[in-house]
Amino acid sequence: MFLKHPYEKNQVMFFDSASIAIADIFAAIRRYNLVGMLGWQDVLQRYRRSTLGPFWLTISMGVMIGTIGAVFSQIFKASLEEFLPFLALGIILWSFSLSLITDGCNGFIAAEGIIKQLPIPLFVHILRLAWRNVLILGHNLIIFPLVLVSVGKPVSWLALISVAGFVLLVINLVWIALFLSVFCARYRDMPQIVGSVLQVFFYLTPIMWMPAMLPERASLFLLDLNPFYHFLEIVRAPLLGQLPSQLNWIVSLGLGVVGWIVVLVFYGRYKCRVAYWL
Amino acid sequence: MDEMVSIAFDQATVDFPIYNADARSLKQRLIRVATGGQIGANEHGRVVIRALEDLTFTFYDGDRVGLIGHNGAGKSTLLRLLSGVYEPTSGSRKVTGEIASLIDISLGIDPEATGRENIYLRGGLLGLKRKEIDEQIDEITDFSELGDFMDMPLRTYSTGMQLRLAFAVSTIVRPQILLMDEWLSVGDAVFQEKAEKRLNNLVQTTNILVIASHSRELVSRVCNRLIWLEHGRVKMDGAPADVAPHYFGG
């Protein structure tokens, strides 16, 4: 093949990689039945023969939210009506994101048995872990209406916007999970590093503290440059009766687009190596 | 319009990188031992096991190919290369047609789930749609003769019963290319007879069969082409009557 310009070869390489990735992703989406079954089975497996099952997670989360809410609202001198719903949503959504990303690190490693025996599109394993985390989120979500009822705060129609925000959040989390699945299959230290980094972000992100409590100088660093702040706000703010800011949307959308483009090329290039790395 | 089912390999090679082995502990030259692939080091000093080397062949519609060779010759790796689990590290692999791999029929089975649930799980992994399984679930249940155990968790089954279920589900696929690692033989004497019939039916409907085996009787009976692998390379490739005497002797 005669190339007119050396630059062209790289272009072809990127498009080839991206198309391999896209083919795999669409093949995985067509196997949605299998994804649904495997994800559901993952959740069931943890809780067979236990009475309350996945609701144990919900109860422990509820207890933690109640305790932190009661104590910290006193420390911050914030009203419970304002602080508790904010805290509850922050913890529920953070726990969902954290779990999806951490599971993402082990996405292919955990599915080693299947990957080395059956030629199933690899992206199925990512969809599966996303689905099981959504199922668990469904269980934990019931804490929020309970909290609203207990503090007597109503929900406005703005809450519907949080659905769009949630979709955008998941789109972002999935590219992160896909990237980490591939990367961690090769470099087994990464899951530990990711875990530590996320721990740090938990404190840097407004979950246990509200942005209004911050002095002006710190807000740029802790809020605007923190992608997790934006990811959380697009889901949390509408549910609390506020609109997310333009910056929240721009960052989330921007990261979604750029993230996916980069990951598509990366995944397409290294997908064929994953079975060799496991 | 149907494209012809075929498998075409051109100089396909499979190199496994070993990340926690020390290249300095290897002797300089490539080691040739009685079994196993070729161990060596690549240009980066990384230990590599060359499981398959320069495989070039084409399988056509109607081929019943037997893979024979010593332990570690590369038969299972070749089956996985055929199924698409591994992409060749160099060379090319071109497969036209739907593939089903019956290499590990118990893969994906959940001991805590019921027999019925496991049918859907196993079937889904094999690529069957829910509707296809719905249509055949009664037939599977009857064939496996498990009765009320179908609604019991799989961990209550004996090993033989579990294999029966796995076999019954795995044999409802109708692929164009079928891959097997040894002939499936499950159940007690009575069951084995109907299992034989069912497997023969399945094999007859496929366009290409590739089976790895150590049994001379099997490959002579079932296959029209034998490939003898040794240390990952093709040593002989031809009709069973030609290849079998050289490998098995006499």
Q: Do A45 and B110 touch (CB under 8 A)?
A: yes
Chain B partners within 8 Å of A113 (Cβ): 107
Sequence ranges of the domains in chain A: 8-277
Q: How does A146-157 read in b/e, with b if 16+ C-beta sit within 10 Å?
A: ebbeeeeeebee
pLDDT score at B177: 94
Does residue A79 sit in helix, strand or coil?
coil
Q: Which two tokens stand for residue A232?
A: 């959380």
| Nearest CB partner across the interface for A275, out of B86, B120, B129 | B86
| DSSP code at position A224 | I
The C-alpha angle A231, A58, A53, rounded to 5 degrees, equals 125
Q: Which two tokens stand for residue B181?
A: 């690692």
pLDDT score at A90: 94
Q: Do B110 and A272 touch (CB under 8 A)?
A: no
Q: What is the pTM of this model?
A: 0.88
d(C-alpha B136, C-alpha B132), whole Å: 7
Note whether B6-97+211-248 and B115-206 share their fold.
Answer: yes
Sequence ranges of the domains in chain B: 6-97+211-248, 115-206
| DSSP code at position B3 | P
Q: In whole angstroms, how large is the CA radius of gyration of chain A? A: 21
pLDDT score at A174: 97
- pLDDT bucket at A212, cuts 50 / 70 / 90: confident
Name the more confident of A115 and B28. Answer: A115
Q: What is the mean pLDDT of each run of 10 residues along chain B (250 residues)?
A: 81 87 57 60 76 92 93 91 92 91 86 89 88 90 88 90 90 91 84 89 92 91 92 92 87
Closest Cα in chain B, distance from residue A21 (Å) = 15
* Mean pLDDT in residue range A205-217: 82
Report for A41-55, A83-97, A153-167: range of highest mean pLDDT: A83-97
pLDDT score at B106: 84
- Among B14, B46, B85, B101, most A C-beta atoms within 10 A, so best to mutate, is B85
Q: Which of A77, A81, A122 is nearest to A104 (CA)?
A: A122
Q: How does B104-138 read in b/e, with b if 16+ C-beta sit within 10 Å?
A: bbebbbbeebebbbbbbbbbbbbbbeeeebeebbe
pLDDT score at B32: 47
d(C-alpha B167, C-alpha B164), whole Å: 5
Topology, domain B115-206: Rossmann fold (3.40.50)
Is domain B6-97+211-248 classified as CATH 3.40.50.1370?
no
Q: Mean pLDDT of all residues in chain A?
A: 88
Residue in chain B closest to A188 (alpha carbons) equals B19
Do the interacting molecules here have an ipTM over 0.90? no
Q: Which of B219, B220, B224 is nearest to B238 (CA)?
A: B224
Chain A partners within 8 Å of B103 (Cβ): 117
Q: Do A118 and B86 touch (CB under 8 A)?
A: no
Q: Which of A232, A234, A240, A175 is nearest to A201 (CA)?
A: A232
Q: Do B86 and A115 touch (CB under 8 A)?
A: no
How many percent of chain A have pLDDT more than 70? 94
